[in-house]
Amino acid sequence: MGATVTAKYEMPPFDLRLAMDTLSAKDPRLAPLIKETQEFRIERGDAESPYEVLVEAITHQSISGKAAATIFGRVKALGSNGSIPTPREMLKLRKPALRKAGLSGAKILAMKDLAQKAIDGVVPTLEEAYKLSDEELVKRLVSVRGIGAWTVEMFLIFRLGRPDVLPIHDLGVRKGWAITYGKKYMPNPKELLAFGERWRPYRTVASWYMWRACQRAGHAALRKIRPHKIKPRKLAQPRRKGRRKSSRLKA
């Protein structure tokens, strides 16, 4: 979800100092990371509402940041006054115009579905999003074609500043965990979810420092981390052929 303009940063809507102090006290491995690396912060860009963020997210899927920024600029140019097309404008845009901007057929379908769901109220406004729980926002936004939980989690973290979001499928968080806790393998999502219970109610901040751990470790160290270890299944014992003898004595 990279921004195409100079980003503006602000403090989160929760007590960041309390969050950092709490995590440092709970988890000694996090304490040096928190002390030595960059503090958590919220990034503000042109795309702020759930609808606008998802337009940008769809544009960025499966392509490099530079190419996505170029395409996103073309999509924005299709809106009035050079801004992101409103949901109604998006529905009126013809497929050839969106294809010319650089969107694939699948992304066009996703954009149209997003626009319709925004008009129907499934995708909330920014004001409405602030009032909804994390779970409700995830439920609503993942109903949009092509949008997964990770994209919604990034919105919760970097636009709304929610304090207790743990993106368990994020490779950076999983690799950062392996670096921080001296493991050769990444945890699988289920393992990370269980481990992250100790970080409540500030799992967002802990995740942030997992990303910082990756930055500090460098590419060489990250390349050594392997996918999560799969435990071998126990083979079932073959059943013996033949009828079981009755334990009852015959009269």
| pLDDT score at 81 | 83
Provide the percentage of residues in the chain whose pLDDT is more than 90.
75
Residue keyed to tokens 């992304």: 107
Query: What is the reported pTM?
Result: 0.82
**Torsion sign, CA atoms 193, 195, 199, 203:** negative
pLDDT tens-digit readout, 37-62: 989 988 766 667 999 999 999 999 98
| pLDDT score at 45 | 65
Average pLDDT, the chain: 88
Q: Measured between alpha carbons, how far is residue 86 from residues 79, 164, 201 in Å?
A: 7, 31, 36
The full 3-state SS of 90-127, as one line of letters, equals HHHCCHHHHHHHCCCHHHHHHHHHHHHHHHHCCCCCHH
Q: Is a pLDDT exceeding 90 seen at residue 64?
A: no
**Nearest CA to 113 among 145, 86, 87?**
145
214 vs 2: CA distance, rounded Å: 18
- Is 134 an active-site residue? no
Lowest mean pLDDT among 132-146, 197-211, 217-231: 217-231
Q: What is the CB neighbour count within 10 angstroms for residue 84?
A: 23
pLDDT tens-digit readout, 144-201: 999 999 999 999 999 999 999 999 999 999 999 999 999 999 999 999 999 999 999 9
| pLDDT score at 233 | 62
Q: Is a pLDDT exceeding 90 seen at residue 73?
A: yes
Position 247 confidence tier, pLDDT thresholds 50, 70, 90: very low
Q: Is a pLDDT exceeding 90 seen at residue 232?
A: no
| pLDDT score at 246 | 45
pLDDT tens-digit readout, 199-209: 999 999 999 99
**Nearest CA to 156 among 100, 113, 204?**
204
| Side-chain half-sphere CA neighbours of 250 within 13 A | 1
pLDDT tens-digit readout, 9-30: 778 899 999 999 999 999 999 9
DSSP string, 200-239: TT-HHHHHHHHHHHHHHH-HHHHHTPBSPPPPPPPPPPPP
| pLDDT score at 251 | 34
As given in the structure block, the two tokens for residue 40 are 């958590």
Active-site hit among 15, 27, 164, 170: 170
For residues 118-132, average pLDDT? 96
Give the SS3 label for residue 147: coil
85 vs 64: CA distance, rounded Å: 22
| pLDDT score at 11 | 83
| pLDDT score at 32 | 94
